[in-house]
Amino acid sequence: SIHHLEYPPSPAQMDWSTHFPAFFEPPTAEGQGSKNLKGKKVEFADVGCGFGGLSISLAPLFPETLMLGLEIRVQVTQYVSDKIRALRLNPGSVDPDNAEDVAAAAAEGTAHPEDEPAAKRQKVEAKDAKKSKVRGIKPELMPPEGYAYDNVSVLRANAMKFLPNFFEKGQLSKIFFLFPDPHFKARKHKARIISPTLLAEYAYVLRPGGLLYTITDVPDLHIWMTSHIGAFPLFQRLTDEEIDNIGLTSGEGVVGYEGSDLQRERERAVMEAVKKRTEEGRKVERNQGGKEWSVWRRLPDPE
Ligand code: SAM
């Protein structure tokens, strides 16, 4: 149940089958982890994902990559979980940004488009294509036909605790901290999501060459985050030019692809999503607030 904060004793004992049934089978014995069907592991972690806008918009861009939102609030986690369920049931016809659409589809349990009559399916696909244009997904970045949000999930967890219980050393290729800590000033140093102790954990779960992203509309928080990450020996900040070229240079094997123009386009879409696709990011946009971001490469461990 998402009402309890449960965590596995080790990543190997985690049951991912409830999160990614297309990728894992349930454990066959108690204390064992799920059976990995396709050799995939969670690679993107959206820490404090809120209403899930980032992960849900990245999922179709990286259909082969498993991504997970981590959220501490029960109702918010439930909402994201419902939203993902609705999208899986009916990937074409649900607008993930429309709460009513999501609730209706979740309640209705609508069939997968594969089961729908061709005429209706075509309509759905046309709507989908239109929507993706609106969302700025370039046609070449569209997921393959039949894509159904199987690669995205949400976990209720306190991301400031037990992260290494869920993820192995070097498992993640991206970790996001988007609009964290709105009450930053009121919090004690130790209670902040970016701190020297926690940075050691983030560096542990992030692979060399992997990327850490931050964005905030709170200038003091931006200073706090960038100064602490900057002081941490395992992270190197990317310049604006480097940010623009993520994916083109393969670097330390960032996110595991050969560098290519297409990969760069995909990574540019990631930056767009970081800035504009989260609920908090949109709120800031509506209020015409400023945003400051940073991207950091996880350096190799010293010899
Ligand atoms: N990233 C989302 C966005 O940009 O729309 C949400 C931003 S919201 C201001 C911060 C979120 O972090 C909240 O939903 C809050 O519940 C969550 N959060 C705070 N501390 C957390 C923790 N220790 N573990 C997991 N989530 C946390």
What CA–CA distance (Å, rounded) separates 258 from 251? Answer: 9
Q: Name the active-site residue from 95, 97, 101, 181.
A: 181
Span from the CA of 27 to the centroid of ligand 1 (angstroms): 30
Give, for 122, the enclosing helix (H) or strand (E).
helix 118-134
Residue 30 has pLDDT above 80, yes or no: yes
Regarding the beta carbon of 72 and ligand 1, being less than 6 Å apart is answered yes
Per-residue pLDDT band at 126 (split at 50, 70, 90):
low
Which pLDDT score is estimated for 69? 98
Q: Which of 5, 57, 184, 193 is the best mutation target for the ligand 1 pocket, counting ligand atoms within 8 Å of the beta carbon and taking the most? A: 193
Regarding the beta carbon of 179 and ligand 1, being less than 6 Å apart is answered yes
**Quick one: which of 74, 87, 295 has its CA closest to 175?**
295
Q: Which of 47, 198, 270 is the best mutation target for the ligand 1 pocket, counting ligand atoms within 8 Å of the beta carbon and taking the most? A: 47
**Residue 64, C-beta contacts closer than 8 angstroms, at least 6 positions apart:** 40, 151
Q: Give the model confidence (pLDDT) of 86-121 as tens digits.
A: 999 987 655 666 656 655 555 544 333 333 444 554
Which pLDDT score is estimated for 142? 86
Angle at 197 between CA 45 and CA 290, to 5 degrees: 60
Q: Is 97 a catalytic residue?
A: no
Q: Which residue has the higher pLDDT, 252 or 28?
A: 28
All structural domains of the chain, each given as residue ranges with its CATH number in brackets, are: 11-298 (3.40.50.150)
Span from the CA of 227 to the centroid of ligand 1 (angstroms): 21
Which pLDDT score is estimated for 50? 97
| Main-chain dihedrals φ then ψ at residue 35, nearest 5 degrees | -90, 125
Q: Token pair for residue 55?
A: 């992960």
How close are the terminal C-alpha atoms of the chain, in Å? 43
Q: Give the model confidence (pLDDT) of 212-255 as tens digits.
A: 999 999 999 999 999 999 999 999 999 999 999 898 865 544 44
Q: Give 177's strand partners.
A: 47, 214
Alpha helix (H) ranges present in the chain?
53-58, 74-89, 99-108, 118-134, 163-166, 196-205, 219-231, 240-244, 261-276, 279-286
Using the atom order of ligand 1, give the atom closest to the CA of residue 282: 5
> Using H for helix, E for strand and C for coil, what is the string for 29-51?
CCCCCCEECCCCCEEEEEECCCC
**Quick one: which of 114, 92, 119 has its CA closest to 105?**
92
Rg (CA), the chain: 19
Burial class (CB in 10 A: 0-12, 13-18, 19+), 108: exposed
Which pLDDT score is estimated for 212? 97
Interhelix angle 74-89/99-108, rounded to 10 degrees, is: 70
Going edge to edge, which strands form the sheet with 206-216?
Answer: 152-156, 66-71, 42-47, 172-178, 206-216, 292-298, 235-237
Burial class (CB in 10 A: 0-12, 13-18, 19+), 66: buried
Q: Which residue has the higher pLDDT, 100 or 145?
A: 145
Q: How far is CA 209 from CA 16, 59, 127, 203, in A?
A: 25, 21, 38, 11
Regarding the beta carbon of 70 and ligand 1, being less than 6 Å apart is answered yes
Percentage with pLDDT > 70 across the chain: 80
Residue 29 has pLDDT above 70, yes or no: yes
92 in Cβ contact with 125 (< 8 Å): yes
Q: Token pair for residue 96?
A: 């993930």
Q: Which residue has the higher pLDDT, 138 or 123?
A: 138
Ligand 1, atom 19: closest residue by C-alpha = 48
Residue 152 has pLDDT above 80, yes or no: yes
For the chain, the average pLDDT equals 85
Residue 141 has pLDDT above 70, yes or no: yes
For the complex shown, is ipTM > 0.95?
yes
Residue 79 has pLDDT above 70, yes or no: yes
Highest mean pLDDT among 181-185, 250-254, 261-265: 261-265
